[in-house]
Structure 1
Amino acid sequence: MNGDRWDVVVIGGGIAGVSVAYELAPETSVLLLDMEDTLGHHATGRSAAMFLETYGGADVRALTMGSRAFLEAPPEEFESDLLRPRALLQVARVGRGAVLDQLHREVDGVVGDVALVDEREARRLCPLLREGAVEAALHEPASMEMDVDALHQGYVRGFRHRGGDVRRAAHVSRLSRRDTGWDIHLADGGRVGASVVVNAAGAWADVVAVAAGLAPLGLTPRRRTAFTTAGPDGLSLAGLPMLYDVDETFYVKPEGDQMLCSPADRTPSEPTDARADALEIARSLDEIREMTTIPARSVRTSWAGLRTFSPDENLVVGHEPEADGFFWLAGQAGYGVQTAPALARWAAAAVLEADAPADLLERGLRHERITPARFRRAGSMVS
């Protein structure tokens, strides 16, 4: 850092921003800016918090598997365990078993210890399922619940320990190019400088790009609603798996003496402080009662968060081809928490123009599939 100039300024204090800042800090000076008073307010803090190696496409699965070692044995800045066992049971309704067959073919031999099971075994694994409600299920016994707050706060502590600085309530109004990098103009009249800007602003990533004079990539924030309801009387929820409908109409996860549920909605939204959708909750309550014995008569609490998707629904990670020193870290599409350790290593190496992590290359991750350049054509600066 020189005065109020930094080698790297990361915009966004969610899990993507704090994790890449943590990885960059030992090598260069880093400032993290977030527009909220509380870091991770809009997506990270509203996550359902599961580590699922069968979840997502090939690149997401590579990053998830590449994150397991860090999550199982985190550095000392992470003051508590980040994972605890919670199996996943992905269920297919009658007539939809072929979807699970295809998923099993994709992950078998890549993800350890995953098995197709019939309806009888699915109901043994999860007594909440109604008889005749499912055709088959995919059982992932090694999946885990994640302590998202411990992960996020551990990254923040570690980043500060490594010499990084955090500024909250820092609303970016404009970014301007200069010979030595970027000037970042704040709404309160302040200004900071950086050689490289990392755009990890989540649902606001396209807004930040436009503020830098770039055309947006076409990122779409999508609302995901969640709520809690009482569990069934007389049945211990300890040790029960998370249930996930393979057609993504709902999921339910035991949480203490209640069930954390979601309609798995993905309604397009403007970047905003998302609110739960009452109609989606009502729909999912019907789905849950149809397939399980969970009473689901009333909602205890509800909330929503935003997950941000690129046009092809894959990650966007890499240097902006139309503007030197502008780096994208966006489009995690709801997979940001479980992929954070590996994705941060990959992104930090790219920012520093170092070799990509060998273990992630071995798992099949490739720059050309996630680079922002795949969405760009000539003339992508905003006039």
Structure 2
Amino acid sequence: MAGSGLAAALAPHRRVLMIEAEDAPGYHATGRSAAFWQQSYGGPGVQPLTAASFEALAHPDPAFSDRPFLLPRSSLIVGRTEEAPMVDAFIATFAARGVDVAPLAAAELATRVPGLRAGWTAAASEPSCRDIDVAALHAACLRAARRGAAMLATRAPLIAARREADGWTVETGRGTVRAAVIVNAAGAWADRVAAACGAAPMGIRPYRRTMAQVRLGAPVPAALPLIVHVGGDFYFKGAGEGRIWLSPHDETPSPPGDAAPEDIDVALAIARLQTVVDWPVAAVERKWAGLRSFAPDRLPVFGADPHVSGFVWCAGQGGFGIQTAPAISALLAAGLGAPMPGGAIGAIDPAAFSPARFA
């Protein structure tokens, strides 16, 4: 998503080549997203990017997409009785930033989450949460990039790049190309790409996140809100009648690669679920894992490298890269020759996300 979103924004203004190591783009983190837009997700530092991306996701330009990318969902942040101060702090933090969050009474929580076990009484409602049609968004970005004459080379991993007086010579698995600028949108591989280009790493670290689709022996509605534990132990949401998507909210340090779920993490997710609700688990129908990559301060990194001319970062999007993609793509494209966006995106100061903050 980082690369395709930027290519879509930049292709009308620059000549763009996307190089992709896999057989097709979107194989790793983008294709394994939990697929929701939630303003509070990622914390206060990420929230402006998420909020500013809403309009492009909810009401895209008809030339970009003939349908919105956001679908109804809503979310609840929940905690045990003793975790009520954490829920109160969550509400105070995000309400102060203009997010629509409000306390939810224990009786209402029990109504919204049938089968809720005793002791889960602290909750906040975040009704603006939506599902994201990630596949449609990614496909729309690729179509827009192609319309702008951007090119895509698959099975073309970066081997090395050499900076010369007039630009870059880039060796890939499918040959050598010349470029004025390299944008490092390599996700979990971002620091390795930097090293191959002679740039210092930013400390981008990948972490494995596990997901499972679980069939339940209880009539749980497909429209069940996204349920997020205020302490970070789990989240789950409806995925069809009697089914949920479930995660133990794990962050296991992992090397870049094709992430696979561990059975112990799926078991942990189910064990945590069953402390919250009395829904019997009939079957684990699917399980998968993806790598979420974070900078040391857990904020995205996008902008020009402070030491290597013509080397630009677009990395460290963590688990919020899809919901912030319109804002990040537009802001970074503006620094590379596209017009500066207006509205909420144009009001964001990209300096907060610049690689120079680690210089």
Q: Scaled by the length of structure 1, what TM-score is found?
A: 0.89
Residues 1:137 and 2:123 are matched in the alignment: yes
Q: 2:83 aligns with which of 80, 85, 96?
A: 96
Q: What residue number does 2:351 align with?
A: 368
**AA matched with 1:44:** T
Q: 1:174 aligns with which of 152, 160, 183?
A: 160
Which ranges of structure 1 fall in alignment gaps of 5 or more residues? Answer: 1-14, 377-383
Q: What residue number does 1:237 align with?
A: 221
Residues 1:323 and 2:308 are matched in the alignment: yes
Secondary structure class of the residue paired with 1:54: coil
Residues 1:205 and 2:190 are matched in the alignment: yes
Secondary structure class of the residue paired with 2:104: strand
Change (3 A) 1:294 1:236: closer
Secondary structure class of the residue paired with 2:352: helix
- Matched-pair identity in %: 37
Alpha-carbon distance, 1:299 to partner: 1.6
Q: What residue number does 1:279 align with?
A: 264
Alpha-carbon distance, 1:113 to partner: 3.1
**AA matched with 1:240:** L
Change (3 A) 1:128 1:41: farther
**AA matched with 1:239:** A
Q: What residue number does 1:260 align with?
A: 245
Q: What residue number does 1:127 align with?
A: 114
8 Å CA contact 1:345, 1:357 repeated in 2: no
Alpha-carbon distance, 1:97 to partner: 1.4
* Equivalent residues in 2 for 1:1-383, closer than 5 Å: 15-75=1-61, 76-132=63-119, 134-188=120-174, 190-233=175-218, 235-257=219-241, 258-352=243-337, 355=340, 359-360=344-345, 362=347, 365-376=348-359
Distance 2:130 2:312 in 1: 31
**AA matched with 2:131:** E
The superposition leaves residues 243-295 of structure 1 with CA deviations (integer Å, 9 ceiling, x where unpaired) of 11111111111111311111111101100100002111111211101111221
- Which stretches of structure 1, 4 residues or longer, exceed 6 Å deviation after superposition? none
8 Å CA contact 1:50, 1:338 repeated in 2: yes
Alpha-carbon distance, 1:194 to partner: 1.0
Distance 1:120 1:282 in 2: 30
Distance 1:214 1:141 in 2: 43
**AA matched with 2:75:** L
**AA matched with 1:42:** H
**AA matched with 2:101:** V
8 Å CA contact 1:253, 1:260 repeated in 2: yes
Alpha-carbon distance, 1:79 to partner: 4.5
8 Å CA contact 2:212, 2:288 repeated in 1: yes
Which moves more between the two structures, 293-302 or 44-53?
293-302
**AA matched with 1:161:** R
Which moves more between the two structures, 44-53 or 276-285?
276-285
Distance 1:285 1:316 in 2: 34
Which ranges of structure 2 fall in alignment gaps of 5 or more residues? Answer: none
The superposition leaves residues 221-254 of structure 1 with CA deviations (integer Å, 9 ceiling, x where unpaired) of 0000101111343x25133211111111111111
Distance 2:344 2:67 in 1: 26
Alpha-carbon distance, 1:94 to partner: 2.4
Alpha-carbon distance, 1:112 to partner: 4.4
Aligned length: 357
Secondary structure class of the residue paired with 1:248: coil
Secondary structure class of the residue paired with 2:181: strand
Distance 1:231 1:117 in 2: 26
8 Å CA contact 1:176, 1:212 repeated in 2: yes
8 Å CA contact 1:319, 1:351 repeated in 2: no
Distance 1:300 1:367 in 2: 42
8 Å CA contact 2:77, 2:124 repeated in 1: yes
Aligned CA RMSD, in angstroms, stands at 1.7
8 Å CA contact 1:42, 1:273 repeated in 2: yes
Q: Scaled by the length of structure 2, what TM-score is found?
A: 0.95
Distance 2:276 2:17 in 1: 49
Distance 1:168 1:181 in 2: 23
Distance 2:280 2:15 in 1: 53
